[in-house]
Amino acid sequence: MKNNDAGLNRRDFILRAGGAAAATWALQALPALAQQTNAAAGAEADRPKVKLGLVGCGGRGAWIAGLFAQHGGYSFHAVADYFPEVAADCGQKLGVPRERCFSGLSGYKRVLESGVEAVALETPPYFFPKYASAAVEAGLHVYMAKPVAVDVPGCMAILRTGQSATAKRRVFLVDYQMPTDPVNIDIRQRILDGGLGDLSYVNTYGIGHGFPDPPKEKTIESRLRGLVWVNDVALGGDNIGNFDIHALDAALWVLGRKPAAASGLSRICRPAPHGDARDVCQVVYEYADGLTHMHLGQALPNMLDDALTVRLVGEKVYADVVYWGRSMLRGGAKSRAGDVENLYDEGAKRNIAAFHDCVTKERFENETVQRAVDGCLIAILGREAAARKTRLTMDELIQENRKLEVDLQGLKD
């Protein structure tokens, strides 16, 4: 699972995903990215423009805005971020007039009312169910980051919103990258074609190095910057729900089913923790047919190699599906291996292109929503079983329907 030599490594992934350095890099890069032409540059003049709004202009929001601009099929009409200076800086780089750069908790509403056709949501996941529902209710197409929610009620709300989007003939796409990679797609197909034989067990790995966790202040305003919010379970869904979920989603994508129960252990072991997210977890997932699936997650600044990996093991053959490094089906007649290249960038570009294609060609199947909800439920099941140090079934988790609350008092509306 040595992945640091292939494309964007985990440390770059963290910076580009949401840290302060990422915001600086992304905002500086936006003009250049917007001027770049893509592979279809010759047809760009004839490409229909989707009038787009961006909600969440921090590190990943500003970065992905550059990829939307680079695509050539979008025109930015409005932006919003809780912090006014962040919204203003991002909007200025995107050519959005200052009067359509909104801020505060209600900034997203102003974007939805501004005349956009579609919205990209790049906020802490706690806000996704509410924002996505409002966007679809307003008749807009939705492009959204993961995870889709932090709790079961949020997952169910996203599922209903996805169904509503389809009924209203609107596109709703959730941006996961591993299932877009050509090598991963080929490995998965070879597995589905019987190349692995009978499946013996599955392992998944989410090996990362943690996020800044400064002391809490009077309000949660400081927790909304960078990726600090990943440390707060109710805001970010815990490390298993925000980072490891890439591997859990890929396992769901390959297996085509979700587990029936989970058992596990987890703990906080970072020095001076201020949030309640766990730094390490080990979860055993059980499937209805007896398959066992072990997940290992860590968010510690040690020397372990970065990994977002699914390993599927048969009697004589095994397969790795990865975010970084080399995906492979090793052994047997369908053996194959290949490097996954620069997936953080390339996967987002492919999803942005797919979103444009679905909007302009009126394809409203919205196939990513169900898997995104199921993957989020798998992460929540593992998080809760490990935190409670018990065995928990998926049915019990859903019946509990426990909602996580965030104290928004004192924040600017």
The pLDDT profile of the chain, 413 residues, written as one tens digit per residue, is 444 444 455 445 554 454 444 444 445 555 454 444 334 444 454 568 999 999 999 999 999 999 999 999 999 999 999 999 999 999 999 999 999 999 999 999 999 999 999 999 999 999 999 999 999 999 999 999 999 999 999 999 999 999 999 999 999 999 999 999 999 999 999 999 999 999 999 999 999 999 999 999 999 999 999 899 999 999 999 999 999 999 999 999 999 999 999 999 999 999 999 999 999 999 999 999 999 999 999 999 998 999 999 999 999 999 999 999 999 999 999 999 999 999 999 999 999 999 999 999 999 999 999 999 999 999 999 999 999 999 999 999 999 999 999 999 999 99
Amino acid identity at 181: D
Query: Could you give the strand order of the β-sheet that contains 141-144, starting from the edge strand earlier in sequence?
Result: 101-103, 74-81, 50-55, 118-121, 141-144, 172-174
Write out the two tokens for 291. 């398959």
Q: What is the pLDDT of residue 5?
A: 43
Query: Hey, what CATH topology would domain 10-174 get?
Result: Rossmann fold (3.40.50)
Instruction: Please classify residue 362 by burial: count the beta carbons closer than 10 Å to its beta carbon, then call 0-12 exposed, 13-18 middle and 19+ buried.
Output: exposed
**pLDDT score at 25:** 44
CATH for 178-341+370-397, among 3.30.360.10, 3.40.920.10, 3.20.20.70, 3.50.50.60? 3.30.360.10
Q: How far apart are the first and last CA of the chain?
A: 45
- Identity of the residue numbered 24: T
Angle at 62 between CA 302 and CA 177, to 5 degrees: 60
Helix, strand, coil content of the chain in percent (nearest 5): 45, 20, 35
Structural domain spans, the chain: 10-174, 178-341+370-397
Q: How many CB atoms lie within 10 A of CB 388?
A: 13
How far apart CA 234 and CA 404 sit, in angstroms, is 5
For residues 56 and 225, the answer to whether their CB atoms sit within 8 Å is no
**Confidence (pTM):** 0.92
